[in-house]
Structures are given as structure tokens and as C-alpha cells.
Amino acid sequence: MHFLSFTHIVFIQLALPAVLHGAKWTYSGPEGEHHWPKHYPYCGGSFQSPIDIKSELLRFDPTLRPIEIQNYNLSPTEQLTLGNNGHSVQISLPSKMYISSLPHRYTAAQLHFHWGSSSRPAGSEHMVNSRQYAAEMHVVHFNSDKYPNMSMAVDKSDGLAVLGVLIEVGEFNPAFEHFLRFINGIKYRDQRVQVPGFNIRALLPARLDEYFRYDGSLTTPPCYPSVLWTLFRNHVTISRKQFLALSTTLYSTHAQDSAPMPLNGNFRKLQLTDSRVVLVSFKEGRGLQGTLTVTSPLTRKQIVQQLLVGDLADLADEGLYKLLPSGSEKLHAGKKKDLKNQQTVAKSKQQMLSPSLWKKSQTNRSVGKLWLAEDALCYVSLEHRVFHQLKQSHAENQLVQALRDVTFPELNLKSYLDCKSDLALPTIRHLLRGRPTDEAFELDRSLTKALMNKKHITPAIKKSVPVTNYGGFSPATVSRKPHSQGYPHPWLLPMEWED
Ligand SMILES: *[C@@H]1O[C@H](CO)[C@@H](O)[C@H](O)[C@H]1NC(C)=O
Ligand SMILES: *[C@@H]1O[C@H](CO)[C@@H](O)[C@H](O)[C@H]1NC(C)=O
Ligand SMILES: [Zn+2]
């Protein structure tokens, strides 16, 4: 995902201090992606893209409709701008093109590509079950119901929707010739040519009803977490010759530059999944047996409500296993006799919380109101506010990590309530902070004890996961470890098995 278009560069230079300081960015070298967060803090923040779409992250969502697009069939009399912006090749799209199947109208702005190199034809950004494809196309749309243009939408949590298409080398693809035949005219950075319009739909796979959906970010600076991602399940192909045209023709440097740099390998590395789940619109086919179905909104709210106002001592004694990752139930098998049949716990469609756990949930405490407010948190405004607060007290090198630690729980909760992630431990702690100490302490102790017994936490994983200390809990580092048994880091067991 790459949103800089030629017209938006002006806005960025006015709005972003990073660019005022002349921050450029590349995919490797001293300005490479490890250094992006220095000038673009969101690149080190939460809910980043791309991710590896693994089976265990998938949740079938029966409400996901086929993608519907309007006015994608452009006439040859309409001129499109094909350009090289130094990071990608990009085609501007007319504003009559839009997605009509999402809750808002998302108007098309541009499409662009990410690709590997001739020696390594693997350059997609997203991976599916750790498989990287040769290239990936992003068709970028902005929420035109709510925002007047791309610039205003780009940093809003509901600002962008991107259609992602995985590209493999194989059959020749005539649709790609509509722009590849002009690519010699844009060899160098900032060059652009006008090309006749064509049917943009032909660049997409045949089936628009099968896709992966998750909440993520721009994959290039400034990495705003503002993208509703739709990655089509089925890839398209281009011929080897077409792939070579894309990967060997262009330069990331200007024509007059004495040290020309080839433009290839322009993909970002995989990002942490941050407890996110990936919704799928389909459930047939290889590897999808046992795919969980999304939790009902009611159940999600009940769980949060229980954390907010329920009896935590009860939760610690009886319901603890529900807060732990899959497999942890075994630790408490001795305590809970009805857990004999471990494997079927997740299969049962029983009420998540027993009546006894609910007896004290009926009390109405104001803390619940705060968290269950219907207003959507805006990722960016939240990160922005926290960033400036932290700036007072943190050195620059601690800032990005601190930003993650502080904002992640709130983003995770919002995402959980929207059914876009599992509830992670830092978030549970965050919720518990407002609780009476003795109750929280009880749960704290049980959680800590259970976590101590938890194995398979590799140092590498530990290092990459931010540790936030909310009160007395420790250790804090389990949520992103994939579990060999069951499904990954479901802190709760809110999912139902599909039969
Ligand atoms: C986008 O819209 C805003 C608000 O109407 C306006 O101030 C700004 O100039 C527009 N930007 C572009 C690039 O058109
Ligand atoms: C909870 O309290 C709020 C005001 O503090 C009130 O509007 C709401 O109706 C109450 N809900 C219940 C279930 O008592
Ligand atoms: Zn992109």
C-alpha cells in the first residue's frame, strides 16, 4: 500500500514535520524500513501491514458480502496518468470509480504495485500461509462519504480501503499490457505519461466474493493504521516477460542522477499481527476445515463487561481458563472437573460465562461506560495524542516502543469489539486497572501463576513483544506466540466451531 500520489506530496510536505526535515525513505540501506519509525512514528506503532495470513488467524464471517465495484470499465478516451514516484509505478484513477459494497462509499484514487527482482521473483507484501508471491497490486480507495479527498482520509481510522491482488508468474496477462507497454516512458523517478483508459476490472481476479479482510495500515511511510484491507483469495498471473518488464525497467532515482538505482524489491517486511484476526468471506477449500467463526458482538461485549464489572475473584477461580490461550486449560484441569474433555471445550456452544459469574455484572459502574462508548476510537488521533504526551518524558529511542505499549491496549479493545482481533493480555490488564485492588489482585495472581507455567516462549519472541506493566502483572509476553495446539493466542475462547 502506497498512498503518495503526485498531488499529495504538497500536502505531506506541509503537514508532516518528518518531511520538513527532509526524511526520505527506501527499502534498504541507511533509510531502510528499520529506520522508518524515526521520522514516521506510526511505522513503529500498532496494527501495521503487511502480515502473513496464516490459517490460524482466520475467522469465517458470514456477513462479508462479495466486493462490488462501479465504473471500473474505463474508456480509451479517458486519459490516466502512469507515473514512477521512485517507490512504485502508479496509475491515477478517476473519481467515478468506487467500491459500493462497504458501509461507506470508497472512491478510487490510484493503483500501484510491489514486486521482487529478476533474480528473486518474490515481492508481494502480504503472504498467505508464509507463501510470498511474485508481486502485489494495491487499488487504493478513500472514504468519500466522510472525507473530501485522499489527503483528509489518509490518517483516519475509517479513511481508506485497499483491494490487494496477489500476482504470480505464469500465463500471459493481456490486461497488464495496457500500461506495461508504456513503462519505458517512465524509467526514472517523477516521470509520467498519459495512457488511454482500459477496463481496470480485468486486473482483478475473476472471483470478487472470496477474500481476506483485516484492519491494517499503509505499507509505506507514514504507515497510518487507516486501511480496511481486502486481499483477494485468488491470485492473477503475468508472464515471465511481463514480470521482467516491471522489475527491470524502472529506477528509483532521477534521470539526471549519476548513480542510478534500480527500482525493485519494493515490498515491506511482515509486521506483527498484534492479536488481530483475519476475517474470511469463504469457508470451503483446502486448509479451511476447522476455521473458527467470528464471535457474536453480544458475546464480545459480555466478556469485556465481565472484566469491567464482574466478580474477578470468581473469574479467577472458575473462569480463568477462558482468559488463557488455548492449551492452558490443561493447567487447571485438576481444579475444574468439567474440563475433562479438553478438546471439546471450544466446540461447545455453551454460554461463555456462567450465571454465577454474571450475578455481579449487573451493577452499573461508570468505568464500563468509558470503555463501551459507541464512538469509535480513532487510531491516529489516539496515537498522535499519546505520542506528544510521551515526547515530554521519553528519549527519542524509547518513544516508538512506548507509543506501542500505551496505545496498543486501546486499539486492541476497539478492534476486539469490532471483531477484528482477539483480546490480548495487555488489554485485559488495561481493563482491570479501574477495578478494586483486591479483586484485581486475585486475578493477577492466578494469571501470573498460569503464565509462569506456560512454556514455549522463545527469547526471540519475547524480545519483539512490548512489555507493558499495568499494575503487578508479570510476565507479559505470551499473546503473540503461535500455539502448537488449538488456535493462536485466543486469550478468551469466544469462537465457535463451524460444523
Ligand atoms: C482536501 O480537502 C481539504 C478540505 O476541503 C482541502 O483543504 C485540501 O486543499 C484538499 N486537498 C487536496 C490535495 O485537494
Ligand atoms: C447505567 O448508568 C447510566 C448512567 O450512568 C445510565 O444511563 C444507564 O441507563 C445505566 N444502565 C443500567 C443498565 O442501569
Ligand atoms: Zn501498496
* Pairwise CA distance, residues 368 & 151, whole Å: 35
152 lines ligand 1 (CB under 6 A): yes
pTM of the model: 0.73
According to the per-residue pLDDT averaged within each range, which of 142-146, 307-311, 414-418, 467-471 is highest? 142-146
258 lines ligand 2 (CB under 6 A): no
Helix (H) / strand (E) element for 452: namely helix 437-453
- Identify whether 222 is preceded by a cis peptide bond (ω within 30 of 0): yes
- Residue 455: alpha-carbon gap to chain centroid: 27
Q: Which three cell numbers stand for residue 128?
A: 498467505
- For residue 393, is pLDDT > 50? yes
Q: Which three cell numbers stand for residue 431?
A: 481493563
DSSP, res 279: E
Q: Is 430 a catalytic residue?
A: no
Q: Indicate which residue's Cα is closest to atom 4 of ligand 1.
A: 148
pLDDT value at position 11? 39
Q: Indicate which residue's Cα is closest to atom 12 of ligand 2.
A: 364
Dist. CA 156 → ligand 3 center (Å) = 17
**Domains contained in the chain, CATH given:** 6-280 (3.10.200.10), 295-497 (no CATH)
Q: What is the mean pLDDT of residues 485-499?
A: 29
* Pairwise CA distance, residues 205 & 216, whole Å: 22
Across the chain, mean pLDDT equals 75
Q: Which three cell numbers stand for residue 146?
A: 466522510
Q: How confident is the model at residue 417 (pLDDT cuts 50, 70, 90)?
A: confident
Dist. CA 364 → ligand 2 center (Å) = 6
* Pairwise CA distance, residues 261 & 268, whole Å: 18
φ and ψ of 91, to 5 deg: -120, 125
Q: How confident is the model at residue 444 (pLDDT cuts 50, 70, 90)?
A: low
DSSP symbols for 54-74: -GGGEEE-TT-PPP-EES-B-
User: Which atom in ligand 1 lies closest to the alpha carbon of residue 148?
Assistant: 2
* Pairwise CA distance, residues 282 & 292, whole Å: 12
> Among all chains, which residue has been given the C-alpha cell 527469547?
459
- For residue 357, is pLDDT > 60? no
Q: Nearest 10 degrees: CA dihedral of 246, 248, 249, 253?
A: 110
Residue length of the chain: 499
Among 2, 39, 87, 430, the one annotated catalytic = 87
11 lines ligand 1 (CB under 6 A): yes
- Taking only the tens place, the pLDDT of each residue in 275-318 is 888 999 998 777 677 777 887 777 777 777 777 777 666 666 55
Ligand nearest to the CA of 95: 1
Cβ contact 84:263 at 8 Å: yes
Q: What is the mean pLDDT of residues 182-204?
A: 98
Q: Residue 63, exposed/middle/buried by CB under 10 A (0-12, 13-18, 19+)?
A: exposed
Q: Which of 364, 365, 366 to mutate to test the pocket of ligand 2 (most atoms within 8 A of CB)?
A: 364
* Pairwise CA distance, residues 200 & 74, whole Å: 7
Dist. CA 93 → ligand 3 center (Å) = 15
